[in-house]
């Protein structure tokens, strides 16, 4: 029985990895095609063909064509929330968040070209930009909830689920100021780090820029010397 359970778990893990890989392949195909031709000219058929799957498979992962352009890594938000919840007790909320983000950004840095193309695509299409901002706000709310749960527990804690049937606005309204602010500041820190590094990649590694941004935040944003 134990052998069967282990085999089932392994098969389940393999299926999940395959699902994640297929979704990632579809998202990457969508972004690359949109960057080349414009999002409005890209069809579900073209995305599916580029990813090597059927149109039916596409709709197993996305409800609409536009959904494929919005988020490159659908699991990143959940991984960051769990990393914040699991961080060592001696870390402050800011430090726990920095470590969680750094782990994700290490992976993202390896796909810098794809993330650059994604930004190009969504900024070229106002309706995609609005949807992307909405997705980021939902992730930000989830991150704030994880920070709030960690603060209440005084350290590492179990995973946290959003209230059933609550809207994003209601969830944000239920949060205290500090977790909301910290999650929002983290998003601004990542965006600022990325923009600064993209403009001068020869000066420093991206993660070094990111760490410097968080060091400035931890120090209370002191004014630089004249």
CATH number at residue 7: 1.10.357.10
Q: Are residues 213 and 113 in the same domain?
A: yes
Nearest-angstrom CA–CA distance, 111 and 108? 5
Q: Are residues 90 and 200 in the same domain?
A: yes
Q: Are residues 109 and 88 in the same domain?
A: yes
CA 151, 217, 122 angle in degrees (round to 5)?
90
Name the pTM for this structure. 0.80
Range of the domain at 90: 76-218
Question: Tell me, what's the pLDDT at 112?
Answer: 76
Question: Tell me, what's the pLDDT at 21?
Answer: 92
Q: Are residues 149 and 53 in the same domain?
A: no
Residue showing tokens 């993330």: 115
Q: Are residues 52 and 128 in the same domain?
A: no
Q: Are residues 110 and 181 in the same domain?
A: yes
223 domain-assigned: no
CA 20, 58, 138 angle in degrees (round to 5)?
60
Q: Are residues 120 and 144 in the same domain?
A: yes
Q: Are residues 126 and 211 in the same domain?
A: yes
Domain finish residue from 24, 46, 70: 70
50: left (phi over 0), alpha (psi -120 to 50) or beta: alpha
Domain finish residue from 25, 46, 70: 70
Q: Are residues 54 and 113 in the same domain?
A: no
Residue showing tokens 């960690």: 150
Please list the rounded mean pLDDT of every run of 10 residues in the chain (226 residues).
52 80 95 96 97 97 94 86 94 93 79 84 92 89 94 81 73 90 91 82 85 91 85
Nearest-angstrom CA–CA distance, 214 and 212? 5
225 domain-assigned: no
pLDDT, tens digit (0-9, with 9 covering 90-100), for 99-119: 999 888 877 667 778 888 898
Q: Is residue 213 within 8 Å of 191, Cβ to Cβ?
A: no
Q: Are residues 140 and 199 in the same domain?
A: yes
Question: Tell me, what's the pLDDT at 161?
Answer: 66
Question: Tell me, what's the pLDDT at 6?
Answer: 54
Q: Are residues 211 and 128 in the same domain?
A: yes
Domain finish residue from 70, 93, 122: 70
Count of the separate structural domains present in the chain: 2
180 domain-assigned: yes
């Amino acid at each position: 029985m134990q052998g069967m359970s282990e085999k089932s778990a392994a098969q389940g893990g393999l299926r999940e990895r395959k699902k994640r890989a297929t979704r990632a392949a579809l998202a990457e195909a969508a972004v690359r095609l949109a960057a080349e031709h414009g999002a409005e000219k890209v069809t579900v058929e073209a995305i599916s063909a580029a990813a090597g799957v059927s149109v039916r498979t596409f709709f197993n992962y996305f409800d609409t064509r536009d959904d494929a352009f919005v988020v490159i890594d659908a699991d990143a938000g959940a991984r960051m929330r769990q990393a914040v919840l699991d961080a060592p007790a001696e870390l402050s909320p800011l430090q726990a968040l920095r470590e969680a983000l750094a782990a994700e950004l290490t992976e993202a840095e390896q796909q810098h070209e794809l993330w650059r193309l994604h930004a190009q695509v969504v900024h070229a299409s106002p309706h995609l930009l609005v949807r992307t901002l909405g997705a980021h706000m939902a992730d930000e709310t989830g991150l704030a909830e994880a920070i709030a749960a960690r603060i209440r527990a005084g350290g590492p804690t179990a995973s946290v689920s959003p209230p059933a049937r609550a809207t994003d606005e209601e969830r944000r309204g239920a949060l205290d100021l500090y977790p909301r602010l910290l999650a929002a500041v983290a998003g601004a820190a990542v965006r600022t780090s990325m923009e600064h590094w993209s403009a001068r990649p020869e000066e420093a590694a991206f993660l070094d820029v990111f760490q410097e941004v968080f060091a400035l935040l931890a120090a209370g944003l002191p004014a630089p010397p004249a």
